[in-house]
Amino acid sequence: MGNKLHYVVPVIAALIAGSGVCAAHSGTLEDIKASGKVRIGIPNINPYGYIDGDGHVTGQAPELTRAFFADMGVKEVDPVVTEWGALIGGLMAGRFDIIATGMLIQPERCRQISFGNPEYKIVSAFAVRKGNPLSLTSYQTVAANDVAKIGMLTGAGDIRYAELAGVPAARRILFPDFTAALAGLQAGRVDAVVASTVTIRNALTRLADPELEYAELTEQPLGENGKPVVSYGGMGFRKEDAALREAWNSWLTAQLQSGKATQIMAPFGFGPETQPSADITADQICSETK
Q: What is the pLDDT along the chain (290 residues), one digit of tens a residue?
A: 333 333 334 333 433 333 333 343 448 999 999 999 999 999 888 888 988 889 899 999 999 999 999 999 998 999 999 988 899 999 999 999 999 998 889 888 999 999 999 999 988 999 999 999 999 999 999 999 999 999 998 878 889 999 999 999 999 999 998 889 999 999 999 999 999 888 898 889 989 999 999 999 999 999 888 888 888 999 999 999 999 999 999 999 999 999 999 999 999 988 888 889 989 999 999 987 44
Angle of helix 242-258 relative to helix 60-71, nearest 10 degrees, comes to 100
Note whether 135 and 114 are within 8 A (CB): no
Whole-prediction pTM: 0.73
Peptide bond into 47 cis (omega under 30): yes
Tell how strand 57-58 and strand 76-81 pair up. unpaired
Length of the chain: 290
What is the C-alpha separation between 14 and 3, in angstroms, rounded?
A: 18
Can you list the alpha helix ranges (DSSP code H) found in the chain?
A: 4-17, 28-35, 60-71, 87-92, 107-110, 139-144, 158-165, 178-187, 197-207, 242-258, 260-265, 282-287
Tell how strand 150-153 and strand 192-196 pair up. parallel
Tell how strand 98-104 and strand 231-237 pair up. antiparallel
Q: How far is CA 171 from the centre of its chain?
A: 29
Angle of helix 178-187 relative to helix 197-207, nearest 10 degrees, comes to 60
What is the C-alpha separation between 138 and 32, in angstroms, rounded?
A: 46
Angle of helix 242-258 relative to helix 28-35, nearest 10 degrees, comes to 70
Q: How far is CA 280 from the centre of its chain?
A: 17
What is the C-alpha separation between 210 and 131, in angstroms, rounded?
A: 11
Instruction: Give the count of alpha carbons within 13 A of 56, CB side only.
Output: 5
What is the C-alpha separation between 130 and 143, in angstroms, rounded?
A: 20
What is the C-alpha separation between 203 and 265, in angstroms, rounded?
A: 16
Note whether 279 and 128 are within 8 A (CB): no
Note whether 79 and 11 are within 8 A (CB): no
